[in-house]
Structure 1
């Protein structure tokens, strides 16, 4: 009996070992629709040309042709696409790699009528992929929109696949179609994919009264049982997606072509953030106004279950001082004063993914969230670059700290605190300071507390009398000082920017009996409810973001909300969005401030205050001030002809401050 048992245990062990060492399958589905029925309202596009680029890129990365399913033209009905996705879920198993690619038209469609039916969009419209049996316009006696493939439908299928492939699997979704659009951009591209006209059922007015609560995310809730899902779209939600020409002059989808080119450069261990940078550089080299977008955890290695540590390198894009030129010496980085960058900072520039610098740069103008610099070497627009700051000049972004340490006998701790601040040029030690670090010793214990001028506690640590700060303690203390400095900078940042004249932000009390103080500000008590209106008074599409700075200098990003992306907060010309807001019961008394930003491209302010969101969303970050000057004209080399930094628009934004006073009632 023992021998039989041992035999079965051996068989089970071998089986378990072999299963854990089975290479994951690589599965793909390509949906390409270039020809729609004549009466559908959809023009022909070059989607079929995309297939060879996507399929070739996947085969070069180990996908087998038999595992790449393709639906083309009249085969790609809504039912067939959903069935193909179901089949993909059935075939998929733990740790598998799945790619789904859509090359077709896209369109916004009126959101569902009720939450039960799927009403979930902050702008009143779902995004939809257009199968071959979907039409462009509503017809009360004919087409009713039921063949549109909504993002709600896709999310269900994506979740089923993610459940099958588990946390170490990968689902990559590529959408070479526009979800919605504005009027066509003036670019040298032949055809756009999609229409700027949403699909609505007759007269439709989107609900502009939006809650601050999160809607369901396209990516999902990120539970441990689900795989990571990365979604790359060819354009922002408000834009059309234009086609490019390939190396032979043939029409091809911008994302499809850029993906194939980028994948050829991807090495083992490279992550989705790097892949996206390469895609974005290639698309914008041909169509500068088009903004590719990405969602998901970008630190995951391409087609691997492993995750990289977030890179310290900074994303760099080539400026468009000369739109016709393929190279330029002016660049923009997605860091500004909030990240301790200021005029005079220097950096080394790398081709993204490489370790050898190809140029050196100098920052010559700085905004809050973005900076522009120059280099003597011309940089190629279609190449993705990264920068590493090697010399920082902190400028106005600084803070003073007073250290109060009465009766402390721990000389090692005193020396450690003094040495801790020395490497940070933005920190100075003064008696009249922005922050106070109190160090008190009592009963063989040391308590360290960091306070701001409002007497709000920013950081606390307790130690035994003989202990010193750990590496984690020091990191947390410096992080608290940086965050306090950012909030001080933001609170004092004056209203302005080129777009501020087009922004109207209003706070309207629900109760007409609400008090007003001597400064004309509303006075609310904890538990009060008010509405907030944000209006785009311009003739162009814009985006908005909101930061809440509370009386105790705690800060939260209200818009975008955690589960949504910055491009979800879009304002059409003359449009007003309304939010219902409540004053939290725990809000302290004092002045509360909302900083409302309006920009031409979506910005993600969560990256500045919550570094965890860095890998979740990647859009375009813009700055806020008119800080552009002709500061780099003294060089006589060839590069100087395109080093006119004043042509780089860092100031395509506006900011308004609205505030109110919180006053607690006497008990």
Structure 2
């Protein structure tokens, strides 16, 4: 039996509660699922301005001439260096697309240097000529690096661990040699930080510098399940003995009165490797690059860097669960010096192909996926509930920044030109899991496994970089005996253990399938996000000290949440910590709340409502708050945990669905409670996500559509660590 991360201690019997490259013009259309664009074979009709307002005038944010970015991507290293090649060049269209949506002029103000250009001198020169030269008071500067990173012996004694962090340029060797290479081609954090001081001086206190490092520097590895941007090898002389300085982190990002603020976001801590991840199209990209791109594309304009980082953490918990991203600097101020472009509730037409087919300026970075439904209204119609739509359609293809729509009927070019496009039913993408098989010395069982895999489209068998590894009779299982089988996640959690024999092979194969499907379903739930302003509820954790009196556990005092934020900007709770939960409704309507807990080992728990409670009990009035009297205690497993708050206008009964994993009992209880067999869209979404376990939707990986008005989902991501001594 698996242990839960959270043990709920009830204080009273009454359970009382106290209150790919972005297209540069509208005539450029993505022609491949990877999001890359081309000017070839264009027969479509670009939409142009109309007297009532051009459809494409809103297709891209207004360019801000005071926003500049430098993107460094090193993927194909000089073979003589000993470094493996990476997918860094695939990060470039992601970052450019996100910057474009934030008002960056990607033609003139965003410079990209790749591979051979990205030597140490090339990177330094680009920083001076592009960022330093263009910096002025109040401007916004972004530096993004994708490539290998490495720890290098500290040459001035300032590092706490005795090692400088360093970017690995195109021609920098991996291994130290007294005779031939002593690290001079590496770009140390001290050197890069010095260049950034020059940028910050020119920007002044009203400017902003954001540094994103999709690299890593050291780490531990077991089975090598993913492609890592970094190495276990340190760049150091054989006789080097590290001495402790006082600097931690990547680049000193502290505030200085005459300098601009600076925030540094890195993909992993110094003791972790940074693994690449797959995007929606199966392309390998940098995990942090993908997370940052998706987050920048969907944040509110008034979001803080803390809010941005919280969403990056959530994305990374799914994309690269073996690592923890880091943030340094003043993270409580607004992103991009308060010049972020607000996300729109609607999209505009950027291309018309015929009377039924066109493209909009929203895609995978906006969480728009195939199968979503859209409604079209005249431009300037903001209250869509007051008028009927003039057309409806289906998202038939989704790219990085754009999506192709097929209408249910036909519209003229004039009608299409004067339309805003709203998502009426959102599909959250397909459930899928990449599974690698390392089963040895049992050919019969391998055949049975493969036959089961062939029945389930959401399972893709891969040769490398899996989400799950099924292993038997290899070096990691032989100590447990012959034919001992286990399934582990990419971050080394054991999800299943069993022993195969001649009689139980079909049963074990089915359990492998069920474990893989359950993993895919949990990953899918982790990624769910919705925003609904009418029922916008957020929640806070309140750390507390407790005391025992008799059989009870009681609150003794409260601890500042800031005391639980680590040096890396991540909320950290230790095993044995206690806390309470408070919900704040910032919306205009009352909201019913449910709270899910997704553990690091992919176990899903419904925290609220409890087993003996109803969904109607947890309601927060508009502009009001609700603090629970429950005390929660943190327990194992260690790792990145996700709390997912679901707020709805009417009670949603998730208990039977989670408890019975979407089984028939859950469906009956949900239908009976609502009457007439009606099921809330979020209930149906969860039910549908479990159906593959019963073989009901194993022929497809598609999932249920959900209207945006169905609810509001907030996420809290934190790390659970071992109890303090």
When the two structures are superposed, what TM-score results if normalisation uses the length of structure 2? 0.45
Q: Larger relative contact order (C-alpha < 8 A, sep ≥ 6)?
A: 2
When the two structures are superposed, what TM-score results if normalisation uses the length of structure 1? 0.48
Higher CA-based Rg:
1
